[in-house]
């Protein structure tokens, strides 16, 4: 457990999903963690698993589905260069052959690492984003966030909340 935090639960798995409101349209969903800010409660993220819909195979076109999970609300799908983004995933089909299927690519959901934790969410919610490109139907993503609830020292909690809010 990171310094200044004390776990208050065993491992929790939180399921989530989001579907585009229409094909190729940015859509965001908010997931409530039901943290108690009066007790300086945070959520320590150990892992994230995201399952992204495959894009449509459209002859001659590149088709994509991009997703991200962030600690604050976003107006576009994020990437790992954004400090509020915990993880990203994508499925892509590259058109370039007569039937429109060149190859398919999927990014990993969370880094394979020996880190003590992946991220700390200090506000009540996390957000999931999705957008497709050149698809004929709306695409979706589902996943699971793994972690524990923890209580932070007052100074640590204040720093975590301020840092998270400033990244939005």
- Tokens standing for residue 64: 């994509």
Region of residue 85 (phi > 0: left; psi between -120 and 50: alpha; otherwise: beta):
beta
pTM across the whole model: 0.87
Helix (DSSP H) and strand (DSSP E) numbers for the chain: 1, 10
For the chain, give the number of residues: 168
Is residue 111 pLDDT above 90, yes or no?
Answer: no
pLDDT of residue 109: 52
Give φ, ψ of 5 to 5 degrees. Answer: -125, 145
Q: How far does the chain reach from its first CA to its final CA, in angstroms?
A: 26
Q: Which of 16-20, 93-97, 113-117 has the highest mean pLDDT?
A: 16-20
Q: Which domains does the chain have, with CATH numbers?
A: 5-166 (2.60.120)
Interval 36-71: pLDDT, tens: 999 999 999 999 999 999 999 888 888 999 999 999
Residues 6+ apart with CB under 8 A from 35: 41, 42, 43, 121, 122, 123, 124, 149
Distance CA(68)–CA(88), nearest Å, equals 4
- Average predicted confidence (pLDDT) for the chain: 88
Question: Whole-angstrom Cα distance, residue 31 to residue 74?
Answer: 13
């Amino acid at each position: 457990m990171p310094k200044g935090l004390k776990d208050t639960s065993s491992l929790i798995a939180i399921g989530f999903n989001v579907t585009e409101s229409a094909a190729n349209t940015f859509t965001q969903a908010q997931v409530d963690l039901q943290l108690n800010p009066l007790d300086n409660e945070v959520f320590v993220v150990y892992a994230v698993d995201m399952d992204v819909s495959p894009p449509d195979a459209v002859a001659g076109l590149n088709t994509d589905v991009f997703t991200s999970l962030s600690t604050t609300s976003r107006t576009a799908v994020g990437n790992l260069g954004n400090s509020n983004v915990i993880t990203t995933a994508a499925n892509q089909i590259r058109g370039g052959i007569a039937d429109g299927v060149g190859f398919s690519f999927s990014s990993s959901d969370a880094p394979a690492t020996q880190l003590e934790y992946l991220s700390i969410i200090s506000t009540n919610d996390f957000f999931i984003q999705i957008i497709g490109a050149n698809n004929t139907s709306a695409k979706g993503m589902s996943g699971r966030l793994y972690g524990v609830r923890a209580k932070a020292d007052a100074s640590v909690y204040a720093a975590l909340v301020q840092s998270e809010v400033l990244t939005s």
